[in-house]
Amino acid sequence: MIGGLFIYNHKGEVLISRVYRDDIGRNAVDAFRVNVIHARQQVRSPVTNIARTSFFHVKRSNIWLAAVTKQNVNAAMVFEFLYKMCDVMAAYFGKISEENIKNNFVLIYELLDEILDFGYPQNSETGALKTFITQQGIKSQHQTKEEQSQITSQVTGQIGWRREGIKYRRNELFLDVLESVNLLMSPQGQVLSAHVSGRVVMKSYLSGMPECKFGMNDKIVIEKQGKGTADETSKRRPSAPAHSGKQSIAIDDCTFHQCVRLSKFDSERSISFIPPDGEFELMRYRTTKDIILPFRVIPLVREVGRTKLEVKVVIKSNFKPSLLAQKIEVRIPTPLNTSGVQVICMKGKAKYKASENAIVWKIKRMAGMKESQISAEIELLPTNDKKKWARPPISMNFEVPFAPSGLKVRYLKVFEPKLNYSDHDVIKWVRYIGRSGIYETRC
Amino acid sequence: MPAVSKGDGMRGLAVFISDIRNCKSKEAEIKRINKELANIRSKFKGDKALDGYSKKKYVCKLLFIFLLGHDIDFGHMEAVNLLSSNRYTEKQIGYLFISVLVNSNSELIRLINNAIKNDLASRNPTFMGLALHCIANVGSREMAEAFAGEIPKILVAGDTMDSVKQSAALCLLRLYRTSPDLVPMGDWTSRVVHLLNDQHLGVVTAATSLITTLAQKNPEEFKTSVSLAVSRLSRIVTSASTDLQDYTYYFVPAPWLSVKLLRLLQCYPPPDPAVRGRLTECLETILNKAQEPPKSKKVQHSNAKNAVLFEAISLIIHHDSEPNLLVRACNQLGQFLQHRETNLRYLALESMCTLASSEFSHEAVKTHIETVINALKTERDVSVRQRAVDLLYAMCDRSNAQQIVAEMLSYLETADYSIREEIVLKVAILAEKYAVDYTWYVDTILNLIRIAGDYVSEEVWYRVIQIVINRDDVQGYAAKTVFEALQAPACHENLVKVGGYILGEFGNLIAGDPRSSPLIQFNLLHSKFHLCSVPTRALLLSTYIKFVNLFPEVKTTIQDVLRSDSQLKNADVELQQRAVEYLRLSTVASTDILATVLEEMPPFPERESSILAKLKKKKGPSTVTDLEEAKRERSADVNGGPEPAPASAASTPSPSADLLGLGAAPPAPAGPPPSSGGLLVDVFSDSPSAVAPLAPGSEDNFARFVCKNNGVLFENQLLQIGLKSEFRQNLGRMFIFYGNKTSTQFLNFTPTLICSDDLQTNLSLQTKPVDPTVDGGAQVQQVVNIECVSDFTEAPVLNIQFRYGGTFQNVSVKLPITLNKFFQPTEMASQDFFQRWKQLSSPQQEVQNIFKAKHPMDTEVTKAKIIGFGSALLEDVDPNPANFVGAGIIHTRTTQIGCLLRLEPNLQAQVRLLEERASYARAVFWLWCGMGPKWGRLRSSERCVPLCNLRCPADT
């Protein structure tokens, strides 16, 4: 149970302070500032224990959000709440910045009153909140007196995330599969660790109370269908191999939005739900097997005497030639005693950034099955301490238009028995985006 | 000194610093620094040489980055280059960088030392100053090694500038503090002393600091500084405030120098009369000045004035020789006791504490008792109150003990928790030490337990019981008082313990009163039983069994209680065992046996007060606020007299002081076996007292060595002295082993053998000095070669002085070198013996003594003792077989003395007659002394009749 919640700016000044329980005193505010924000050594752990009080913090640009408690709480729950809180704030007033927080502090206190009660998280669904917490610009466009009176019964009802009587002229939905791929590779090209964490985000503009069913190439489902209803699979089979070589993926773990009926997932492994109106995150998942690594980095570092270092890095794209990767950035760390750098690259632009102690190589676009190379000469200043350079890994950023985990959306069916539109009338959009998470290669 | 002009400022540096200050976040700052570092690296790497200005600028930036907390691993070379520049600003930055950043094991140290050497050799005072500051700032051992020899030369050279001398003195002081062994003492020391006469007051101030530190280590070498310091001080004190110009601080002439001079004088004992007169004059002037109205309202003025005054008072206290000054100082402090300024009150109380221990000013301090008590009650600052408590403790004596104890008790109710335990201990000690009337003592301690029961340590209530048991006159009163105290609905557990014990012993004394009949007493105690902890319950069970003996009428009630399941089947094994054994004892044993087994406790042997030991321990070894300790330290040299005692034993001659020597540890009476008294004693030994008992007096140990050559001579918490000795004819050799029982080093460890003049001519002792430091847990050995020149009487005294954890320790023990060590046995026949015995019949040749034996006589033991004494045991010589007869020769360098002795025990009267005859009466007498204590104390012989008289001849 969260005892209190504080928001600080980068200087450690308190912008928002809300205490939910008596065991959290005023000094807790200062304790966090002194021990975390102004700590001499940068605090890396998101959980800090000071005098039997636990502080859970997340940072959004220059803003610190800290949840405080004296009890032994579920840390994952607290962080989940903090992220949700960020989402809610972003939905209300855009970017979380000091100025925005100062301008909206009344709203934030109002939100804090609503989404946390005596330290227990409550309904934090933006859509639902917007119906009754209205500030300035956010005036619900179609709120009659009648509807206002229904708010209480609706948000406390069984389907608290969606109100009744929504009507759209055009029923439309958007599905985004967003993945980030993480990798640590040895200099010889051996994968030391790799995983993909992905999210399925849905934006729905559907009338009434539609019942949706989401299907993807989950290994368990595919196998079950293969054994069970043979007729259904026989219909689908021909189309499946056309998408990719891989038919199904093994999902290590996943979480769902509260609208998904978990009982159905447990028994049939089918994902059925009544979606909230607007944008929401349908599910989150993680895979570790058979990951498609979009790029391969081949480093070559040679030390020439004490004062010179030669670096050569080759990157190879490893996906279909028809696809284009974007926003590619390779970051090659340089030793701390670098006194000068010369870079030559065939493609893109490369620059030595002294402030970050790294050579940054940027390529705008790159097609699949290509390779590119950079070579650099680094001059070093002899120093008097014998510490050897630790050689931090070379890291990479990119964006590719496919899901590195291999996930495919098979279907999303919409049923609304009360209104007269069918699954075929709904316009559906699916998009895959694969981004780099921590994508590193040792050198 | 050239100042940094505006135009010389470094723009790049200013821009960089303002950039850093404008950074919004830590990340931004790190980025900016990384960028700057890369820039500096590329600049330093660059092929073309940098000019002095940019070098200085970049080194400055590096320094700034370092001070922000980032690691700097380059730029040292550039900084060293700056040292050889001829510009002041560049040199200064170079030195700054080096004193901040260069670590001692760097390879550059040689280059740096070289640069410093050049600067020291230059005649430019500014550069010399920079170099000296750098040495002092780094202050490492390496620096000391390189320059410790050089700096004294600069310091005493005639042509050195004043400012350089000043720096050199302080630099040398710094090096001396870090590595005293590397600073060579030499002829420069005498010339340094003369710096006290220097024209320039700055030089004098710096030199005084240096001399004070040096004088603390080598007082002899700097003895001459005393008279110089006194004359300098008197010149300052008597000067008009305008004379010293720059060195007058808010109308006070050279306060810092005065304070330092006064400190220096505190390193030495009072000087010889001529100088002393002048010093006394100075001190009087300082005291007079304190009386004058302030010349300025500014706080700095009074601060400076008071600083000098307090230092003067410390000097007066240190000398402790001028009653007049001491009393004046005391009066002055008395004024401060009521000052507005809290700090002044604190300092006044603190100084008074030491004044109270001086015999001259003790009375004067006592006049301020009301003010101090008032301070205790009204003072807002807890540290001041603490001082007030200390002072009250120090000023307490027989005349005001009752008042002070009462005040402390009343204060205790509201005292801060942090000082409560200490106050409790102090009250307990004072109450005991100055108790005239023991009923008052009992009242006080019971009050103490009532008010602050939680802070009353075990030792305190042990003491009450020990005193009550040892004093017949208070037992009844104590029983009555505790009985009344126990009637309070809620009493502290400590009170229950005291009550249980005292009622168990002396409950019968109040049983006559129907209001405190045995049953009522029992019920009262038992009503507290269930609220108490296990040790207390165990004690109460012992009380119950004592009740069974005292009051047979409650026997059945008590047996019922003991029989109940909560006792017999108690989960605690100790309680269960007691219940079972007591129950059995009460049913099985007859009244007589019960009476014997459960007899009243025997009196406790007297030892050092455990409470005092506890207080000392609490204060820590370094604080010498304690009255006794301060006194003892001063009288340490006198301690080598005829009555050597271990330094930690209190030696106040007043009768009540004996009480202080009472049992530090639970006594172990040789009484009847396990039950009764023994068990009650067990209650004590359940929780052993915090401090190990002191070794028994060295006199006891000394006696043991009369017949023994090896063993432990002395032992206390710190030190153990062991002996191993061998004697042949008139020669002997003794190995003395000093064992450090602590884990800390003993410093300045110096054992000295002290012989009186008389003894020196008769006994020659040769020894080598031992190593002055004894490591924790280590043992050092010292060999003493002994030759007996002529017969002697006294024993030499071994005096050991050492420093342990800051306090000065002094131990004196008698070395067991007695005449009988040179005693060699001779065999002779009966006839021969009596013939000689008869020849030695003149009164000078005979000593006869009758004494009562302490222990039952055992023939074998007595025989062994006579042999151990050195003489031969002659069997079948005396016609009476019960008598013991011995003969031997004492070897000295000059002569040999024959000796005969007889011991005639009278078993019935346990009286023995010991007779000795020797050719020298003196020898006989001291032989006797050596032997005497072995058997018992000398008693007057009125009750004893000599049983038989024998004669004996001399041998040579």
- Which residues in B lie closer than 8 A to residue A384 (C-beta atoms)? 73-74, 76, 106-108
Helices (H), A61-171: 75-93, 98-103, 105-115, 126-132, 145-155
Please report whether residue B562 resides in a domain: yes
Q: Which residue has the tokens 């006589």?
A: B857
- Which residues in B lie closer than 8 A to residue A39 (C-beta atoms)? none
Q: Would you state the structure tokens that stand for residue A246, as one six-digit string?
A: 């891989």
Q: Average pLDDT, stretch A24-51?
A: 87
How many beta carbons lie within 10 A of that of residue B956, not counting itself?
A: 8
Please report whether residue B917 resides in a domain: yes
pLDDT of the residue at B856: 60
- Which residues in A lie closer than 8 A to residue B41 (C-beta atoms)? 337-339, 381
Hey, is the C-beta of B414 within 8 angstroms of any chain A C-beta?
A: no
Q: Inter-chain contact A383–B38, Cβ cutoff 8 Å?
A: no
Q: pLDDT: is B470 or B2 the higher one?
A: B470
- Which residues in B lie closer than 8 A to residue A358 (C-beta atoms)? none
- Nearest by CB to B35, which of A62, A354, A384? A354
Which SS3 state, helix, strand or coil, does residue B482 take?
helix
Q: Where are the beta strands (DSSP E) in B776-843?
A: 779-788, 797-804, 807-814, 823-825
Hey, is the C-beta of A355 within 8 angstroms of any chain B C-beta?
A: yes
Confidence at B918, pLDDT banded by 50, 70, 90? low
Same domain, B588 and B715: no
Please report whether residue B197 resides in a domain: no
Which of B334-338, B731-735, B909-913 comes out lowest in average pLDDT? Answer: B909-913
> What b/e sequence results for A25-51 when a residue is b if at least 16 CB atoms lie within 10 Å of its CB, and e otherwise?
eeebbebbbeebbeeeeebeebebeee
- Nearest by CB to A355, which of B25, B31, B69? B31
Q: Has residue A439 got a pLDDT over 80?
A: yes
pLDDT of the residue at A145: 63
B642 closest CA partner among B696, B699, B700 = B699
B contact residues 90-119, partner A, Cβ 8 Å cutoff: 106-108
- Which residues in B lie closer than 8 A to residue A385 (C-beta atoms)? 73
- Which residues in B lie closer than 8 A to residue A10 (C-beta atoms)? 24-25
State the average pLDDT for chain B. 76
Same domain, B749 and B858: no
Confidence at A375, pLDDT banded by 50, 70, 90? very high
Q: Are A200 and A283 in contact (CB under 8 A)?
A: yes
Nearest CA in chain A to B102: A384
Report whether B377 belongs to an annotated binding site: no
Q: Has residue B704 got a pLDDT over 80?
A: no
Q: pLDDT: is A409 or B754 the higher one?
A: A409
Domain that holds residue B839: 820-932
CATH number, position B748: 2.60.40.1230
Which SS3 state, helix, strand or coil, does residue A246 take?
coil
Q: Average pLDDT, stretch B625-632?
A: 42
- Residue-wise pLDDT tens digits, A69-119: 999 999 999 999 999 999 999 988 888 999 899 988 889 999 999 999 999
Q: Distance (Å, rounded) from C-alpha B794 to C-alpha B792? A: 6
Please report whether residue B66 resides in a domain: no
CATH number, position B838: 3.30.310.10
Please report whether residue B844 resides in a domain: yes
Q: Would you state the structure tokens that stand for residue B209, as one six-digit string?
A: 């600091």
Q: Which of B598, B625, B648 represents a domain boundary (last residue)?
A: B598
Calculate the alpha carbon distances from B347 to B135, B201, B351, B379 in Å. Answer: 36, 28, 6, 14
Q: Average pLDDT, stretch B155-161?
A: 84
- Nearest by CB to A339, which of B25, B31, B41? B41
A181 closest CA partner among A75, A318, A364 = A318
Q: Count the helix, strand and coil residues of chain B and give each as a percent rounded to the nearest 5.
A: 55, 10, 30
Hey, is the C-beta of A342 within 8 angstroms of any chain B C-beta?
A: no
Q: Inter-chain contact A384–B34, Cβ cutoff 8 Å?
A: no
Confidence at A20, pLDDT banded by 50, 70, 90? very high
Please report whether residue B832 resides in a domain: yes
Helices (H), B179-298: 188-193, 201-217, 225-238, 255-265, 273-291
Q: How many residues does chain A have?
A: 443
Which of A381, A383, A385, A386 is the best mutation test for B, with the most CBs of B within 10 A? Answer: A381
Same domain, B849 and B826: yes
pTM above 0.80, yes or no: no
pLDDT of the residue at B77: 84
Q: Has residue B689 got a pLDDT over 50?
A: no
Same domain, B808 and B824: no
- Which residues in B lie closer than 8 A to residue A382 (C-beta atoms)? 74
Q: Are B821 and B791 in contact (CB under 8 A)?
A: no
- Residue-wise pLDDT tens digits, A331-351: 999 988 888 899 999 899 999
Which residues lie below 8 Å from residue B755, measured CB to CB, with a gap of 6+? Answer: B763, B765, B794, B796, B797
Please report whether residue B121 resides in a domain: no
pLDDT of the residue at A200: 95
- Residue-wise pLDDT tens digits, A256-310: 998 999 999 988 888 999 999 888 999 999 999 889 999 999 999 998 888 889 9
Q: Inter-chain contact A339–B35, Cβ cutoff 8 Å?
A: no
Q: Distance (Å, rounded) from C-alpha B668 to C-alpha B908? A: 29
Q: Distance (Å, rounded) from C-alpha B83 to C-alpha B705? A: 71
Q: Inter-chain contact A384–B107, Cβ cutoff 8 Å?
A: yes
Same domain, B589 and B446: yes
Confidence at A130, pLDDT banded by 50, 70, 90? confident
Confidence at B923, pLDDT banded by 50, 70, 90? very low
Q: Distance (Å, rounded) from C-alpha B290 to C-alpha A326? A: 86
Q: Inter-chain contact B25–A383, Cβ cutoff 8 Å?
A: no
Q: Average pLDDT, stretch B77-95?
A: 88
Q: Distance (Å, rounded) from C-alpha B140 to C-alpha B103? A: 9
Hey, is the C-beta of B417 within 8 angstroms of any chain A C-beta?
A: no
Which of A147-156, B129-138, B938-947 comes out lowest in average pLDDT? Answer: B938-947
Integer-rounded Cα Rg, in Å, for chain A is 26
Q: Has residue B390 got a pLDDT over 90?
A: no
What residue type is assigned to position B860 of the chain?
A: E
Q: Average pLDDT, stretch B679-700?
A: 38
- Which residues in B lie closer than 8 A to residue A339 (C-beta atoms)? 38, 41-42, 44-45
Q: Has residue B621 got a pLDDT over 90?
A: no
Q: Has residue A32 got a pLDDT over 60?
A: yes
Q: How far is CA B827 from the centre of its chain?
A: 52
Report whether B706 belongs to an annotated binding site: no
Q: Are A222 and A430 in contact (CB under 8 A)?
A: no
Bridge-based pairing of strands A191-205 and A172-185 is antiparallel
Report whether B937 belongs to an annotated binding site: no
Q: Inter-chain contact A355–B32, Cβ cutoff 8 Å?
A: yes
Confidence at B855, pLDDT banded by 50, 70, 90? low
Which residues lie below 8 Å from residue B161, measured CB to CB, with a gap of 6+? Answer: B125, B128
Report whether B346 belongs to an annotated binding site: no
Q: Average pLDDT, stretch A229-236?
A: 44
For B610, the enclosing helix (H) or strand (E) is helix B610-619
- Residue-wise pLDDT tens digits, A239-255: 433 344 457 889 999 99
Q: Are A429 and A175 in contact (CB under 8 A)?
A: yes
For chain B, the straight-line distance linking the first and the last C-alpha, in angstroms and rounded, comes to 91
Same domain, B773 and B824: no
Q: Distance (Å, rounded) from C-alpha B551 to C-alpha B138? A: 81
Same domain, B892 and B803: no
Bridge-based pairing of strands A172-185 and A427-441 is parallel
Q: Which residue has the tokens 């009750």?
A: B943
Question: Helices B555-563 and B534-550 meet at what angle, rounded to 10?
Answer: 150
pLDDT of the residue at B478: 84
Same domain, B862 and B718: no
| A111–chain B nearest CA distance, Å | 28
pLDDT of the residue at B395: 83
Task: Give the CA angle between residues B63, B64, B70 to the nearest 5°.
Answer: 85
B58 closest CA partner among B74, B38, B40, B70 = B40
Report whether B23 belongs to an annotated binding site: no
With pLDDT > 90 as the criterion, what percentage of chain B qualifies?
Answer: 8
Same domain, B917 and B850: yes
Q: Average pLDDT, stretch B337-360?
A: 84
pLDDT of the residue at A68: 95
- Residue-wise pLDDT tens digits, B576-592: 888 888 888 888 877 78
Confidence at B26, pLDDT banded by 50, 70, 90? confident
Q: Would you state the structure tokens that stand for residue B668, as one six-digit string?
A: 């172990």
Q: Distance (Å, rounded) from C-alpha B412 to C-alpha A297? A: 77
Number of domains in chain B: 3
Q: pLDDT: is B589 or B927 the higher one?
A: B589
Same domain, B483 and B438: yes
Which of A119-123, B565-569, B928-932 comes out lowest in average pLDDT? Answer: B928-932
pLDDT of the residue at B505: 83
A271 closest CA partner among A258, A284, A260, A286 = A260
Calculate the alpha carbon distances from B440 to B396, B413, B464, B468 in Å. Answer: 16, 19, 12, 12
**Please, which residues bridge with residue A194 across strands?**
A183
pLDDT of the residue at B637: 37
Please report whether residue B189 resides in a domain: no
Q: What is the ipTM of this complex?
A: 0.73
pLDDT of the residue at B634: 40
pLDDT of the residue at B935: 35
pLDDT of the residue at A16: 93
Q: Would you state the structure tokens that stand for residue B833, as one six-digit string?
A: 């013996």
For B45, the enclosing helix (H) or strand (E) is helix B26-45
State the average pLDDT for chain A. 87
Q: Which of B784, B817, B850 represents a domain boundary (last residue)?
A: B817
Hey, is the C-beta of B39 within 8 angstroms of any chain A C-beta?
A: yes
Same domain, B853 and B890: yes
| B414–chain A nearest CA distance, Å | 29
Report whether B60 belongs to an annotated binding site: yes
Q: Has residue B668 got a pLDDT over 50?
A: no
Hey, is the C-beta of B74 within 8 angstroms of any chain A C-beta?
A: yes
pLDDT of the residue at B933: 33
Which residues lie below 8 Å from residue B135, measured CB to CB, with a gap of 6+? Answer: B116, B143, B147, B151, B171, B174, B175
Q: Average pLDDT, stretch A384-403?
A: 86
For A266, the enclosing helix (H) or strand (E) is helix A262-268
pLDDT of the residue at A273: 93
Same domain, B436 and B578: yes
Q: Which of B583, B598, B613 represents a domain boundary (last residue)?
A: B598
Q: Inter-chain contact A381–B76, Cβ cutoff 8 Å?
A: no
Hey, is the C-beta of B450 within 8 angstroms of any chain A C-beta?
A: no
Q: Distance (Å, rounded) from C-alpha A397 to C-alpha A361? A: 10
Q: Are B453 and B423 in contact (CB under 8 A)?
A: no
Which of B103-107, B348-352, B916-920 comes out lowest in average pLDDT? Answer: B916-920
Nearest CA in chain B to A341: B42
CB pairs under 8 A between A and B: 50
- Nearest by CB to A355, which of B35, B45, B69? B35
Q: pLDDT: is A111 or B370 the higher one?
A: A111
- Sign of torsion, CA B459 B460 B462 B468? positive
pLDDT of the residue at B939: 30
Q: Are A9 and A15 in contact (CB under 8 A)?
A: yes
Q: pLDDT: is B954 or B464 the higher one?
A: B464
Q: Has residue B662 got a pLDDT over 80?
A: no
